[in-house]
Structure 1
Amino acid sequence: MADEPDDVPEMDVPVGMFEDIEDLKTQVASLTAQLKELTGSEEGEPSEASADGAETAGAEAAEDSGEEEWQYPPFILLLDSPEYDDELRALIEWVEGVLVPGYLAEPSADARWCHLWFEHPVAVARLHALWLAWQELTDPVSCGYTGPSVWHRDHLDPCLRELRAPTGPFTGCTKGEHQILHRLPTQVPSAWRHENA
């Protein structure tokens, strides 16, 4: 054959590979069509004008707010009022409505609990993290059927061990008495604050 070069190497290509390539071409064509439909672009790529507009809008929004955007959910101890108060109110409702009646037995010297737990920042931080994990891991859509088991094993058990330990945040709290000054820091460390530089 005159139109093929003399130095073409002979390759053994499995027949199945051609079928795989054809399947991939079909998938790419399907995805390209979906992309065109979603973006309204004729060429299957977002138009430069819409991309530039989105970037400009995002930059303007960031400039207007004067702050970087938070990745939610935020760490509760970093919130200021009224956000902190709202988040704490919802946390109290969950702790008193779900956690205390369902998981906490009578307090003892080996398993402490303070009825004013929300005045202990360490307890608030740990229980808030536990509650966030509960929200995610009890939703079958996001975590499947094993979420509750993971929540118990990885979140509830370690959290309660730390909180209820004789050396935990409720160390000075005995049945009927509440003591917080032994654990209350004067202020939240500055490294925990989200501030503009």
Structure 2
Amino acid sequence: MADEPEEGPKLNVPVGMFEDIEDLKAKLAHLTAQVEALTGSDSADPGEASADDEATADEEAADEEDEWQYPPFILLLDPPQYDSELRALIEWVEGVLVPGYLAEPSADARWCHLWVEHPVAVARLHALWLAWQELTDPATCGYTGPSVWHRDHLDPCMRELRAPSGPLQGCTKGEHQINHRMPSLVPSAWKIEGA
């Protein structure tokens, strides 16, 4: 019986802890890959880099930038790129967001089927979509990304968009209205009366 290993103590480990550990492992692997890409080498000490290594690292970084660029915010795009990005946004909003997350519109939770005509709605929904793209990829954010997206992005965005005083405030079921609230002109203190 001396050859048999002793049984270790019974540990009461919460099931969620294993998911957290896997999430941390994924984040560590991602950060390690980023560090290796930025340093251009995974085994060289910092003082051992040569000019050739630095040139190779610069080329790899340039190639990586060409391969992946973060999508720009939609309001910063000019017409051909704006139209393309808007089409992709419409596909996501109409295919994912509306059927999955929007209940029947009401006075307290408005929605406009012509939301693309509301610039503030387009801007907020595009920001929401960018966050969704990043936070639903387990390779970049682990398994908690969707929860973060719901808590930090979806819920606040929907509260602002669908609020009675939000950008869709003039729209009711079956009626579309864009309320552009421009600030009124403030009389100048420097204006000379009668001039």
TM-score by length of 2: 0.61
Q: Are 1:100 and 2:98 an aligned pair?
A: yes
The residue number in structure 2 matching 1:175 is 173
Q: 1:34 aligns with which of 27, 34, 43?
A: 43
Question: CA deviation digits over 1:26-49, x for unaligned, max 9?
Answer: xxxxx988349xxxxxx9323179
RMSD over equivalenced CA pairs, Å: 3.0
Q: Percent identity?
A: 79
- 2:90 aligned partner, one-letter code: I
Deviations 1:84-127 (A, max 9, x none): 00100000000000000000011110000000101111001110
Match of 1:114 among 93, 112, 115: 112
Among 43, 50, 53, the alignment partner of 1:46 is 50
- From 61, 81, 84, give the equivalent of 1:83: 81
Taking the aligned partners of 1:113 and 1:89, their CA distance within structure 2 comes to 19
Q: 1:161 aligns with which of 141, 149, 159?
A: 159
Shift of 1:80: 0.4
Give the conservation status (yes or no) of the 8 Å contact 1:107–1:113: yes
- The one-letter code matched in structure 1 to 2:169 is T
The one-letter code sitting in structure 2 at the alignment partner of 1:72 is Y
2:154 matches 1:132: no
Q: Which runs of 4+ in 1 moved over 6 A?
A: none
Could you tell me which amino acid in structure 2 is paired with residue 47 of structure 1? A
Q: Distance in 1 between matches of 2:111 and 2:53?
A: 59
Secondary structure at the aligned position of 2:142 is classed as: helix
Task: Say which of 138, 143, 146 aligns to 1:145.
Answer: 143
Determine the C-alpha separation between the residues in 2 that align with 1:84 and 1:111. Answer: 28
**TM-score normalised to structure 1 length:** 0.60
Distance 2:101 2:41 in 1: 52
Q: Which has the larger radius of gyration?
A: 1
What residue is the counterpart of 2:3 in the other structure? none
Instruction: Measure the CA separation in 1 of the matches of 2:110 and 2:41.
Output: 60
**1:4 maps to which residue?**
none
| Structure-1 separation of matches of 2:94 and 2:170 | 21
Provide the residue aligned with 1:72 in structure 2. 70
Which residue of the partner structure matches residue 17 of structure 1? none
